[in-house]
Structure 1
Amino acid sequence: MDEILERGGLEALVEATRVREDWFCVAGAVRGLCAAGEFGQAWAVVEPFAATGWQPAVRTGADVLWRWGRVDQALELARPAGPQEHAFDTWRDYAEMLVRAGQLDDAIGVLGPHLRDPRALDALVEMTAGLGCDERVLELLAPIAEDFRRAPERDDLRALWVVLPAQARVLERAGRTDQAVQLLGADVAARRYGVLNTVEFYAELLARCGRIEELGNLADTHRHSAVHPYVRALESLGRTEEAEAYLRGLIAAGLPGWFESMLMELLIRQGRFDDAIKAAEHTFDDLYDSNLLQGALILLADQGQHDKAIGLTQGRSPEFLAENEAYWLRSNRWWLMGEAGRAREAIAEIEALPTDEVEDREVTIAWLLAQDARVEEAITLLHSLPGKRAATDQAELLIRQGRFTEAITAIPDVATQREEERGARAKQHGSASPDNGHVYDDPWAAPNTAPLE
């Protein structure tokens, strides 16, 4: 929907909301109407969805009302209807709307009872940034942080590990960098870790503060989490030779870690493509997770080096091809050929293979036809194919031609998409799991019980 808006298809989206009960169309139309200053029309489009109480629609509706200048109405819509103890999103959205309305104290009060929920901690830190209330936020975080530091292994406290980097972030933005480094450094030394390693946050803090020597020392003792931030920090300071030498030293020492990958990425960012390939090519026929071939293909393609990448798909060992050619190497090669202006060669390769050996054969050919400027042929082929992927690809091509209404019509409705997903799950697991009428909290499952006028 964003691409439709970017290409001037707002009118088609608005019209689609009148005939399709589709949240994607509604959300796209609302974004476009608000950007055009048509807040009244945007509210008319979203109001039936917001009236159902579905939180994404409530959030969008409250945003429209606030931007329209109807602040009280926005707050009323965003206000949770009841306790809703297990619906944190509603309280977070309400608090954010209070902040936008200039009612910071009330927003903090709304989140206060929920601060033992890690999501509330993150929300508090995010929504108060730049509002001059860092000291108050730190007062709220301090007792929670101390509880976690005393007993990080306790089941009822384990999830609160996020308070450590949160506290450091607020101290940093409050200008108390030394204290942030001291506290988080002590947490790392004491191995107070959570689901994500506290070392990563500490390394990023040291990098932001320019404490490169301390970051280097941390990388020496916590290679898994701190080497990458250290290398990027050196690179940002123009010390790329030092970063390269550091990584090569780790590789030469045979230390475990993805250091060849980091070195390859570093060299590619410098435009040293041949050196990057040389640094990683010894892994390209590896049958295990240490193989960097696909990563190399993608990184080279990102730099416009499609022909170099295509060359790497050739000359691979028979053992590697037996494991990977049909699984992913062929499709990557055809993608690269399409991007390199060699779509006809790729189509010829596909057509030379037995039909049942190429997954998504017709969809792939359609993409290559489009790359070869044979867009109408691609659209015709995709139109004849079943499934959401073919429909989506067809819609994208139609959008690029400015045929917005046709593109929207090509996308299957919610019921059809759900049925296709059920079929895919049934095929994968042997039997479909019961739906029980449950409506999931995702955009395509938005309940639209009130018809648009």
Structure 2
Amino acid sequence: MRIDDLSWQAENYGGLSPRKVDLLLEHGHLDLVIRAAEERGEWFCAERAAKELCRSGEFARALKVVEPFAATGWRTALWVKADVLLRAGRTDEALDLVRPDEEGRASQIVCRDFAELLAKAGRVDEAIDLLVPHCGESWIRSVLVEITEGQDRDEWLLELIAPHAEAARHASDESRWDCSRSDVQELQARVLERAGRVDEAMRILGQAIAERRCLTQNTLTAYAELLARHGRLDALRELATGRHAHTVLHIYAQALRDRGRVQEAETVMRDAIAADDWAGHRAWLSSALLRDGRLDDAITVAAPGFSSYDCGNLLAPLVHPLHDRPQELLHLLDHPLTVPHHGHAEFQHSWRAFALASLGRAEEAIAVVEAHPDPWSDPCIVRAGLLSTAGHLDAAATELRSLGSIKAREELFEVLVQQGQAAEAIATHPTAAEQRAARAKSTPVPLREDGYSLEPPF
């Protein structure tokens, strides 16, 4: 077991990926997960097994699973071991294991990680002392806000933030933008709110917006959400129906829905679409209608954006919530208003095949793939996946075994687990070393001058 190999696993989800380990655990195979960690050096098995064992109070077993990985000195494993020790009540051992040296104290990331561990151990003051030297960074201030919640440190924290807020105001007055303090007003408001000083929090954010001291959407969003949480709907409506509608109108509409005023929320958004046919308004309303079971209405609202490019495309946001509702997904794909996804008909072929297979119509699903082979990198793998989705596990397993490739063995794993053959699934799955070797042999993808691929997917 080497640090380089473990790092490759973690960075590439090599070996048994987290999703596959979770599948084993969902089927009650904790002992097999532990064995895979011990015999195959599967990091994600060790990590998740330790977490499961801690949940049941089996700290000694959890440490035994993690120890071989931590013994390499790999930092990720050391932190997991420290977490186990902390959960076991061995606080000093946990902290000593990952306590930063002088060099580590100069690293903001190391200090952040150790401060969060200190906070979990109930040593908030030590965590604060560690982070204060780095509080010139906005993300460190965010960590301080997180770890001090409920710790009776709000007034102290407000004093710490105040000079940064004042500096941000001065920069704004001088038409400068200080990125290191871009979120300081939102942090101030958050601490004031949790300290019970809601009106003061609203005043700070409202004034920043009125004086145009904020140059990001974050302040607008924070203010709108603050108003919504505390029922200040009149002020929220005024904010949302002005020049900031693109940023916060959906927050106002959702606040209305949360209070049972569903029809009013729909009217607000339809009026906005009539006045300013912006894709964001259509996206919110179509998703809301879909949640209410009004698929045809959702399609009608979203249809003008079905052929738009990139994030403006409104077809995929309707498709994804319907993955577990295949009959409705087919209805969407067959609807006369549904047009190709920015000309990429292959997306619809994929969605259609999946929906048909989910309904048990395996032959029709496979026929879609055979009629449109271009989108599929490996139609045989796709065929096996559709058979599995349709519930034909034996046929899927036979197909994948006949292929025998690294990819096929990865896909076979899930089929075997569903068949109740978890031990064979693990034995069949390629090791991290096999996966790494296979990827090293793959042909490099030619790139354009800007670094993007010359071949799909771009």
Aligned residue for 2:9? Answer: none
Secondary structure of the equivalent of 1:359?
A: coil
CA contact (8 A) 2:279 2:312 kept: no
**Partners of 2:344 and 2:147 in 1: CA distance:** 47
**Partners of 1:424 and 1:150 in 2: CA distance:** 55
Query: Which of 334, 337, 356 is the equivalent residue of 1:314?
Result: 334
Q: Which has the higher contact order (CA 8 A, sep 6+)?
A: 1
Could you tell me which amino acid in structure 2 is paired with residue 231 of structure 1? A
> Is the counterpart of residue 54 in structure 1 residue 81 in structure 2?
no
Aligned residue for 1:448? Answer: none
| Alpha-carbon distance change, 284 to 105 in structure 1, aligned in 2, over 3 angstroms | closer
Q: How far did 1:239 drift?
A: 0.8
**Partners of 1:393 and 1:218 in 2: CA distance:** 51
Residue correspondences, number:
427
1:344-376 CA-partner distances (Å, limit 9, x unpaired): 3111222344x4553342222112111222112
| Alpha-carbon distance change, 428 to 12 in structure 1, aligned in 2, over 3 angstroms | farther
CA contact (8 A) 2:202 2:226 kept: yes
Aligned residue for 1:299? Answer: 321
Query: Which of 243, 261, 272 is the equivalent residue of 1:250?
Result: 272
| Stretches of structure 2 lacking an aligned partner (at least 5 in a row) | 1-20, 452-458
Select between 401-410 and 329-338 the one with higher mean Cα deviation: 401-410
Pairing 1:220-235 to 2, within 5 Å after superposition:
220=241, 221-235=243-257
Aligned residue for 2:196? Answer: 175
Secondary structure of the equivalent of 1:395?
A: helix
| Alpha-carbon distance change, 239 to 425 in structure 1, aligned in 2, over 3 angstroms | farther
**Partners of 1:124 and 1:390 in 2: CA distance:** 47
Aligned residue for 1:366? Answer: 384
TM-score, normalised with respect to structure 2: 0.84
Query: Which of 413, 431, 437 is the equivalent residue of 2:431?
Result: 413
1:137-192 CA-partner distances (Å, limit 9, x unpaired): 2222222222222215657x413312222221111111111111111122223334
1:17-52 CA-partner distances (Å, limit 9, x unpaired): 222223212102211221232211211222333344
> Is the counterpart of residue 265 in structure 1 residue 283 in structure 2?
no
> Is the counterpart of residue 30 in structure 1 residue 65 in structure 2?
no
> Is the counterpart of residue 159 in structure 1 residue 180 in structure 2?
yes
TM-score, normalised with respect to structure 1: 0.85
Query: Which of 386, 399, 410 is the equivalent residue of 1:381?
Result: 399
Percent identity of equivalent pairs: 39
Aligned residue for 2:361? Answer: 342
1:40-84 CA-partner distances (Å, limit 9, x unpaired): 121122233334443332221111001112111011013113323
Could you tell me which amino acid in structure 2 is paired with residue 429 of structure 1? L
Select between 99-108 and 234-243 the one with higher mean Cα deviation: 99-108
CA contact (8 A) 1:285 1:317 kept: no
CA contact (8 A) 1:55 1:89 kept: no
Q: How far did 1:85 drift?
A: 5.8
1:255-298 CA-partner distances (Å, limit 9, x unpaired): 43421121111211222222222223344455786442232222
Aligned residue for 1:398? Answer: 416
Could you tell me which amino acid in structure 2 is paired with residue 329 of structure 1? Q
Could you tell me which amino acid in structure 2 is paired with residue 246 of structure 1? V
Could you tell me which amino acid in structure 1 is paired with residue 208 of structure 2? D
Aligned residue for 1:184? Answer: 205
Q: How far did 1:417 drift?
A: 3.4
**Partners of 1:408 and 1:180 in 2: CA distance:** 54
Q: How far did 1:238 drift?
A: 0.7
Aligned residue for 2:132? Answer: 112
1:288-321 CA-partner distances (Å, limit 9, x unpaired): 864422322223445x3x3233133237699848
Could you tell me which amino acid in structure 2 is paired with residue 331 of structure 1? S
CA contact (8 A) 1:273 1:300 kept: no
